[in-house]
A = this chain, B = another copy of it.
Amino acid sequence: MQAPYYAVIFTSTRNDGDQGYAEMAQKMEALAQEQPGFLGMESAREQLGITVSYWENIQAITQWKKQLDHVDAQRKGRSTWYSGYRVRICKVEREYSFGKLSF
């Protein structure tokens, strides 16, 4: 990816039990990939979950936030899956890398 572009850092803690979470997470990642301006997504979870998605511009992020199935997932996230989360909208100003990157 060529800076500048945008990143959404989503950090979260989960409530106990899957309750359809894993299936939704897969669906949302597939759906995000179809959105205009989507560049990529990276995730890891231990106690804390971190998902970073990358976007061409702010408009693409705003559209994704309003996408209807995603709005449903956000609602269920608040009612069921997450005990808490934080969303940070960021402008990626520069980047560099080392070695073999499969991501």
Contact = CB atoms under 8 A, between A and B. Distances in A.
Interface of A: 3, 7, 9, 11, 13, 42-50, 52, 77-78, 82-103
A46 B48 contact: no
Contacts of A98: 77-78, 82, 84-86
Contacts of A91: 90-91, 93
18 contacts: A7-B90, A9-B92, A13-B100, A42-B50, A43-B48, A43-B50, A44-B45, A46-B46, A50-B52, A77-B98, A82-B98, A85-B101, A86-B101, A86-B103, A87-B97, A88-B92, A88-B94, A90-B92
Q: Which 9 A-B pairs have the closest CB atoms?
A: A84-B99, A90-B90, A44-B44, A86-B97, A84-B101, A88-B95, A84-B100, A44-B46, A50-B50
